[in-house]
Amino acid sequence: MAGKPSKQTTFGGWDIKPEDAQVELLSAVGNITYQMKPYEQVVRVTTIASYAMKVTLPPVSQCVGRLYYIIHEVRVDQSCVVEDFKADAGLSDITFDAAGEYVVLFSTGEVWLEVVTGYS
């Protein structure tokens, strides 16, 4: 008897479910630095207190051909910085200063390309 097909897939040795591809970071207790995993393609950064937020992209070589969406959903006036992993792709830091600012990045395997930007 055949069972239901699994919606779980393997990515880079990780077994992931569709809901694993989206992460919400909530800063309420202190400064946060978050290291994205290659399968986390949507990151929502929410700040509710005046703490610094930093999001580090996964290694560019592990993300070939993938799009990544990062949005800053603030509730207070606080910035968020997006940086590449150990400067492996030469991406300049991206700073979000206002609610609703976002970026869509594409990995060539060697560099990050900003496909769509919505930040100043």
Domain parsing of the chain, residue ranges: 14-118
Task: Indicate the range of 7-11, 15-19, 37-41 predicted with least confidence.
Answer: 7-11
Q: Tokens 């990050």, residue?
A: 112
* Beta strands across the sheet bearing 67-72: 22-27, 42-47, 67-72, 101-107, 112-118
What are the structure tokens assigned to 72, written together? Answer: 């800053």
pTM of the full predicted structure? 0.78
Structure confidence at residue 45 (pLDDT): 85
What are the structure tokens assigned to 104, written together? Answer: 């869509």
Cα distance between residue 2 and residue 92, in whole Å: 50
Q: Which is higher by pLDDT, 75 or 12?
A: 75
Q: What is the pLDDT of residues 22-68, one digit of tens each?
A: 777 665 566 788 899 998 999 988 866 677 789 999 999 999 999 99
Give me the CATH code for the 14-118 domain, please.
2.60.120
Structure confidence at residue 79 (pLDDT): 81
